[in-house]
Amino acid sequence: MANIENQKFIALDISGKNYLSWVLDVKLHLSAKKLKYTIDEDNASSNEECVTALIFLRHHIDDGLKYEYLTVENPLELWQNLNDRYEHLKAVVLPKALNNWSQLRFQDFKTVS
């Protein structure tokens, strides 16, 4: 991650610990660049748009993931591969985060009725 100063947000860690926030950031940035449809099924994007989206995705993933998915030349395929790899984290991390949030909210009050 030598090029971190050029990144718009934190790159996806190879462990996937920041996958949920990374997905949201990528979708927002691709939407802002009008390239979000390049990671959707049945898209009719041009080759130039696909390459631009692929460069953006590869720029925002860990170097280990870049090497692992070196041969992937389609942003949709890369997106699906990463989704298959880290989607299980929603079932593990999200409920724990929601529980922590509810516990934190209760700490704001002296009593709960």
Contact criterion met (CB below 8 Å) for 26 and 18: no
pLDDT at res. 4: 46
Predicted pLDDT of residue 65: 92
CA separation for the pair 19, 85 (Å, rounded): 10
Instruction: In whole angstroms, give the CA distance from residue 90 to residue 111.
Output: 32
Report how far apart, in Å, the C-alpha atoms of 63 and of each of 18, 34, 54, 77 are. 15, 26, 15, 18
Q: How high is the pLDDT of residue 58?
A: 93
Q: Which of 13, 11, 23, 14 is nearest to 90 (CA)?
A: 23
- Note the pLDDT of residue 112: 61
Domain spans in the chain, listed from the N-terminal domain onward: 18-111
Per-residue pLDDT of the chain (113 residues; tens, 9 = 90+): 444 445 678 899 998 888 888 999 999 999 999 999 898 888 888 889 999 999 999 999 999 999 999 999 999 999 999 999 988 877 777 787 778 777 776 666 666 65
What confidence score (pLDDT) does residue 1 get? 45
Q: Which residues pair with 61 in a beta bridge?
A: 12
| 3-class state of residue 34 by DSSP | coil
What residues contact 30, with CB distance under 8 A and at least 6 apart?
36, 38, 39, 53, 56
**DSSP-assigned letters across all residues of 81-94:** HHHHHHTTHHHHHH
